[in-house]
Amino acid sequence: MASNTVVVERGGAVQPSEPKPRLHVGDESHHEGLAHGLSEHVKKYLILYTFLSIVLAVPVGYFSSGLISADKATLSSLVILLAILTIYPSMIQLKTEGLSGTFKLWRPIAVSLSYVFVLSPILAFALAPALGNRDVGTGFVVANVVPASSGSLGYVLIAGGSIELATALAIVSLMVAIPAIPFFLSVYGGQVSADVPIAPIMTSVLYILILPFVAGQLTRYLLLKAKGSAFVGKSLRPYLSLTTMLSMFALIFVLVMREGTLMVAQPLLVGEVIGSQSAIIVGILLLSVFVSRAMRLSYEDHQSVAFISVTKNQSVAAAIATLALSPESALVPAIIPIIQPVLAVAYIHLEGPVRALFARGSQGEDFRKGNGPGLSGTSAIHKMRLQA
């Protein structure tokens, strides 16, 4: 309620003061709430919107094939722009400060890297030729050697995993991916007798991985200095998440639209890509449960390893395929988002049985000396922070 103050003048006369203008302090929080609600809505129906993007793009691409063929350069530029709009906000959200202790947890990091850059490429090499199209097969390999995005941290958070370890894994896999992506594509090209240009691939890695990471972290640093951690970690987050998701839908639409004719001519291709990718994701998830338990990882550390290892940044794969390979190669990263979140959410729903499985075994092994039995490395870090 607005209230007027009074002013007592000499002589005892009481005069009401002019009412002060009302400050609209709720406007900013209202906008934040609106952005948060919209972001949560899109997250909730992420799979549905992804599917709709593909369903709408196929007929548009099929009936506009002449226009698409005549303007391939513009569409390629649009793909790169949308990919950057998808990747850059996630790089701002990637919290790299305060993780020095987590990077010392070498065993879970080594296990995750072995899944991402050893097992996943081997499985992709084995399954890609069965897709029947050499360019699509190359795209399938690209889609399985790219690192996770900061969006993968959301799965870890929901599943009760260690955010600190997951963030460290995402950063390490990003760094390793820079030389690994050209290497694996070169090896696969030799395997299928395909010409894979290394120089354009290196250029695409620079544009799509290195520059967005540097720009995103610089932006994060400047925002932290100017606005504080609460603004970056809470107020700005829904806007960044919404930008990433909407850009991803637009990116999927353009990628599928470019290959609408191919998808109509080969409708089974979509099912084959989904089936092959499902086999890789489910296989690595199952293996990771047994390996983590055998290595005496805690449940929290295991979930970080599992999600960072199987969820891939398909925007990066699409941009690399567009810049260095072919439009057909970029089709696979547009299809995989149909199934990747479905399997991730399905695994989240298995939290109870997975947690019980780890509880029946060892309670976790300390990766840092002096912390005692039953305390995982990241749990030890939490404890030290509470004691500080």
- Do 161 and 303 meet the contact criterion of CB atoms below 8 Å apart? yes
pLDDT of 349 reads 83
Q: What is the mean pLDDT of each run of 10 residues along the chain (388 residues)?
A: 46 51 52 77 82 88 82 81 82 74 81 94 93 88 87 78 85 89 89 74 79 88 89 83 85 83 83 93 94 90 92 87 85 87 86 84 44 42 38
- Do 165 and 301 meet the contact criterion of CB atoms below 8 Å apart? yes
Distance CA 25, CA 19 (A): 17
- Do 128 and 138 meet the contact criterion of CB atoms below 8 Å apart? yes
Distance CA 85, CA 270 (A): 26
Distance CA 270, CA 285 (A): 22
- Do 140 and 273 meet the contact criterion of CB atoms below 8 Å apart? yes
pLDDT of 376 reads 45
pLDDT of 13 reads 52
pLDDT of 99 reads 67
- Do 339 and 274 meet the contact criterion of CB atoms below 8 Å apart? yes
List b or e across 351-383, with b for residues whose CB sees 16 or more CB atoms inside 10 angstroms: eeebbebbeeeeebbbbeeebeeebbbbbbbee
Which residues lie across from 15 on neighbouring strands? 7
Backbone phi, then psi, for 7, in 5-degree steps? -125, 125
How distant, in Å, are the alpha carbons of 119, 278, 379 from that of 283? 10, 8, 28
pLDDT of 28 reads 56
Q: Which residue segments constitute the domains of the chain, with CATH numbers given?
A: 46-365+375-387 (1.20.1530.20)
pLDDT of 23 reads 44
- Do 128 and 194 meet the contact criterion of CB atoms below 8 Å apart? no
pLDDT of 374 reads 39
Distance CA 57, CA 61 (A): 6
pLDDT of 29 reads 62
**Closest-CA residue to 85 (of 283, 248, 232, 203):** 248
Burial class (CB in 10 A: 0-12, 13-18, 19+), 116: buried
pLDDT of 386 reads 34
Backbone phi, then psi, for 16, in 5-degree steps? -70, 140
Q: In the numeric block, which tokens belong to residue 170?
A: 């995402």
Which residues lie across from 8 on neighbouring strands? 14
- Do 287 and 180 meet the contact criterion of CB atoms below 8 Å apart? no
Distance CA 313, CA 198 (A): 21
- Do 90 and 150 meet the contact criterion of CB atoms below 8 Å apart? yes
